[in-house]
């Protein structure tokens, strides 16, 4: 198809520019900014929308910049580097507002825009990640997936990774032992321990590790001062060994006498932007307003990132999580904080909620922090379990909008929406919603 001129109306939740052709067909274009006019050629057709690729930027936005990352045009990870950080924040707020304005629930349509607070920017818009995961292709070159592809673009550093991660990774690339290990590696993770500034490497292996692999890992740890541990995991075998990493929540954000130190296991979940995580925890505490006579249920509680600060203020807290390593970490973190008012259970969330409802349990405050797919099918149980207020932490505004539609049908009332930019240079955005029971 010949290239056509398109005016970019807005960004979708995935960060793609939205336009329409002369026949009204929706067109999605990568690497654009709303208000721009571009010439683009169709590269893929579908029933709901076509996908096009830029050929010429006819009228550029004043907020367009040269992406600082040398891999930007190939790498599929960070899709907003072509605009200023200020404009990124504006667009993320617009994405959320646009999703809610199109909701099938009239209350969300009418109130969400009024309740949407200004987005909280990240203290750092580069080098904020304390963990990265790299794919390894058939050439044994580690990197990130190319855009719209399973092929890899090999890298030697990442603009969003902490400088210590980049330093360690460059040293790894120079080691023959690392190249030998990559022959049997599907992907790898580099995790920074923020408190010690040391690195743990987790290799997702194609087979069980052998003595030679262990030998190579010890050679790497001897050669690279930042590299503290090398672990292996894969299909049919668990993580070989277990490292405990830790980070701190500042006292001023959680109103404690001293910072809270929380730990998590290698391979377990932890927020990648720890500076912004402190702001997230502070926001949840402000929204929940938990007091010493209130009970709390924390669903998808992870390592207790929200549970432990909440339990400082609550009468009691029950945390539920489906991942074993996370529950182990949550229990440890509560014991380390000398808390005696917490209980943590490893259970699938939907099954756990059904059991709690059957047992007639109720909680003053409910906190939920689900994965990207949200919590479909839980609204009725949540409405039964929660008596006063709920704080919903979402990493995907599309699933958040869907779940809020369901929750409002069961009597919840939406009070506040607070976007938090946990992932600068990408279209992803965290949102904290406060709901109450009448």
Q: What is the pLDDT averaged over residues 263-284? A: 89
State the Cα–Cα distance between residues 66 and 81, nearest whole angstrom: 8
With contact defined as beta carbons under 8 Å apart, do 333 and 263 qualify? yes
> Does 267 score more than 80 pLDDT?
no
pLDDT, position 388: 97
User: Between these two residues, 253 and 421, which has the higher pLDDT value?
Assistant: 421
Query: Left if phi > 0, otherwise alpha if psi is -120 to 50, otherwise beta: which for 414?
Result: beta
State the Cα–Cα distance between residues 247 and 231, nearest whole angstrom: 20
| pLDDT tens string 141-180 | 899 987 766 778 889 999 999 999 999 999 999 999 999 9
Of 402, 417, 406, 409, give the one whose Cα is nearest residue 111. 417
Local structure of 100: helix, strand or coil: helix
> Does 268 score more than 80 pLDDT?
no
- The DSSP H or E segment spanning 40 is strand 37-44
> Strand ranges (DSSP E) for 347-402?
363-368, 386-394
pLDDT, position 3: 85
At 1, is the pLDDT very low, low, confident or very high (cuts 50, 70, 90)? low
> Does 32 score more than 80 pLDDT?
yes
* CATH 3.40.50.150 residue spans of the chain: 245-436
Q: What is the pLDDT averaged over residues 30-53? A: 94
| pLDDT tens string 181-203 | 999 999 999 999 888 899 999 99
pLDDT, position 318: 98
Least confident of 263-272, 296-305, 347-356: 263-272
Q: What is the pLDDT averaged over residues 257-275? A: 86
- The DSSP H or E segment spanning 201 is strand 198-205
270 as an active site residue: the answer is: no
**245-436: which CATH architecture?**
3-Layer(aba) Sandwich (3.40)
The residue written with tokens 């030679």 in the block is 212
pLDDT, position 281: 96
Of 410, 387, 416, give the one whose Cα is nearest residue 296. 387
pLDDT, position 148: 64
Helix axes 106-115, 397-409, angle to 10 degrees: 120
| pLDDT tens string 351-394 | 999 999 999 999 999 999 999 999 999 999 999 999 999 999 99
In angstroms, the Cα distances linking 187 to 17, 215, 232, 377, 423 are 31, 19, 11, 33, 22
CA atoms within 13 A on the CB side of 190: 28
Least confident of 135-139, 288-292, 341-345, 372-376: 135-139
| pLDDT tens string 310-325 | 999 999 999 999 988 8
Select 131-241's CATH number: 3.40.640.10, 2.40.50.1070, 3.40.50.300, 3.30.160.100: 2.40.50.1070
Q: What is the pLDDT averaged over residues 257-271? A: 84
Local structure of 213: helix, strand or coil: helix
* CATH 2.40.50.1070 residue spans of the chain: 131-241
pLDDT, position 380: 97
pLDDT, position 240: 62
Q: How many residues does the chain have?
A: 438
Q: What is the pLDDT averaged over residues 53-60? A: 96
| pLDDT tens string 78-134 | 889 999 999 999 999 999 999 999 999 988 888 888 899 999 999 999 999 999 999
Q: What is the pLDDT averaged over residues 293-313? A: 97
Of 313, 287, 288, give the one whose Cα is nearest residue 365. 288
State the Cα–Cα distance between residues 438 and 436, nearest whole angstrom: 6
Tokens of 347: 């259970």
Cβ neighbors of 181 (< 8 A, separation 6 or more) are: 203, 213, 216, 217, 220
pLDDT, position 266: 78
State the Cα–Cα distance between residues 153 and 141, nearest whole angstrom: 8
* CATH 2.40.50.140 residue spans of the chain: 1-64
Helices (H), 148-273: 163-173, 176-182, 211-223, 251-254
State the Cα–Cα distance between residues 154 and 134, nearest whole angstrom: 9
| pLDDT tens string 203-251 | 999 999 999 999 999 999 999 999 999 999 888 776 666 678 888 898 8
pLDDT, position 138: 81
* Cα Dmax for the chain: 68
Q: Which of 69, 301, 353, 395 is catalytic?
A: 395
Tokens of 433: 């919603």
The residue written with tokens 């500076």 in the block is 275
State the Cα–Cα distance between residues 270 and 251, nearest whole angstrom: 19
State the Cα–Cα distance between residues 438 and 435, nearest whole angstrom: 10
How many CB atoms sit inside 10 A of residue 189's CB? 17
Superfamily of 1-64 according to CATH: Nucleic acid-binding proteins (2.40.50.140)
Tokens of 279: 């702001």
Q: What is the pLDDT averaged over residues 20-33? A: 94
Average pLDDT score over the chain: 93
């Amino acid at each position: 198809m010949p290239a056509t001129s398109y005016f970019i109306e807005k960004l979708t939740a995935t960060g793609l520019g939205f336009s329409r052709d002369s026949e009204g067909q929706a067109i999605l274009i990568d690497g654009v900014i709303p208000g721009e006019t571009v010439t683009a050629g169709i590269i893929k057709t579908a029933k709901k929308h076509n996908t096009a690729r830029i050929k010429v930027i006819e009228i550029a936005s004043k907020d367009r910049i040269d992406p600082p990352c040398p891999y930007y045009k190939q790498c599929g990870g960070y899709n907003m580097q072509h605009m200023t950080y200020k404009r990124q924040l504006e667009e993320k707020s617009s994405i959320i507002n646009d999703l809610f304005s199109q909701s099938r629930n009239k209350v969300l349509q009418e109130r969400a825009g009024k309740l949407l607070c200004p987005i909280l920017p990240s203290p750092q818009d580069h080098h904020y990640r304390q963990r990265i995961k790299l794919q390894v292709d058939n050439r044994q070159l580690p990197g990130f997936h190319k855009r719209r592809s399973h092929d890899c673009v090999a890298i030697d550093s990442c603009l969003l990774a902490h400088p210590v991660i980049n330093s360690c990774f460059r040293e790894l690339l120079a080691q023959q032992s690392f190249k030998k290990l990559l022959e049997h590696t599907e992907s790898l993770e580099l995790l920074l321990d923020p408190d010690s500034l040391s690195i743990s490497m987790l290799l997702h292996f194609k087979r069980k590790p052998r003595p030679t692999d262990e030998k190579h890992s010890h050679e790497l740890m001897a050669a690279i001062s930042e590299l503290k541990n090398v672990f292996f995991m894969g299909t049919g075998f668990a993580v070989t060994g277990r490292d405990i990493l830790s980070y701190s929540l500042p006292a001023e954000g959680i109103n404690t006498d001293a910072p809270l130190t929380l730990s998590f296991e290698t391979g377990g979940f932890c927020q990648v932007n720890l500076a912004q995580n402190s702001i997230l925890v502070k926001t949840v505490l402000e929204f929940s307003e938990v007091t010493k006579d209130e009970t709390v249920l924390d669903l998808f509680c992870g390592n207790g990132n929200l549970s432990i600060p909440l339990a400082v203020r609550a009468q009691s807290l029950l945390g539920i999580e489906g991942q074993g390593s996370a529950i182990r970490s949550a229990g440890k973190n509560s014991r380390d904080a000398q808390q005696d008012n917490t209980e943590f259970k490893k259970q699938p969330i939907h099954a756990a909620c059904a059991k709690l409802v059957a047992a007639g349990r109720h909680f003053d405050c409910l906190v939920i922090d689900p994965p990207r797919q949200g919590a479909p099918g839980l609204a009725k149980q949540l409405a039964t379990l929660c008596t006063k207020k709920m704080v919903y932490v979402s990493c995907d505004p599309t699933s958040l909008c869907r779940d809020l539609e369901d929750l409002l049908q069961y009597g919840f009332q939406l009070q506040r929406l607070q976007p938090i930019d946990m992932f600068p240079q990408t279209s992803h955005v965290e949102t904290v919603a406060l709901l109450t029971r009448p």
